[in-house]
Amino acid sequence: MNFGMRPFINQDTAAKIFKALIEPYFNYLSRVWVGLGQHLSIKLQKLQNRAARIVTKSSYDASTGPILDMLGWDRVSVS
């Protein structure tokens, strides 16, 4: 799957793009959805996992725990 410029940028740049443009939405949504139950928190975590795989160019079935740790990203808190 081609994600536009992704093949041409390194992991550090992709992580910085995520931190600047995407992470603020995760932070906002995790606070807003806290009262809406575990189901939405799980969905938000799945989105973050996918973003981590894209940033690191990992396969879709790669375990995200080590990837998130390597990137230094906090997991979405599940209510």
Q: Please check the confidence at residue 52 and state whether its pLDDT lies above 80.
A: yes
* Site of tokens 């600047």: 20
pTM for this model (two decimals)? 0.75
Q: Please check the confidence at residue 77 and state whether its pLDDT lies above 80.
A: no
Establish how many alpha carbons lie within 13 A of residue 41's alpha carbon, considering only the half-sphere containing its beta carbon.
Answer: 14
Q: Please check the confidence at residue 70 and state whether its pLDDT lies above 50.
A: yes
- Selected residue with higher pLDDT from 43 and 67: 67
Q: Where are the domains of the chain?
A: 9-71
- pLDDT for the residue numbered 32: 75
Q: Please check the confidence at residue 12 and state whether its pLDDT lies above 70.
A: yes
The pLDDT of 15-41, averaged and rounded, is 80
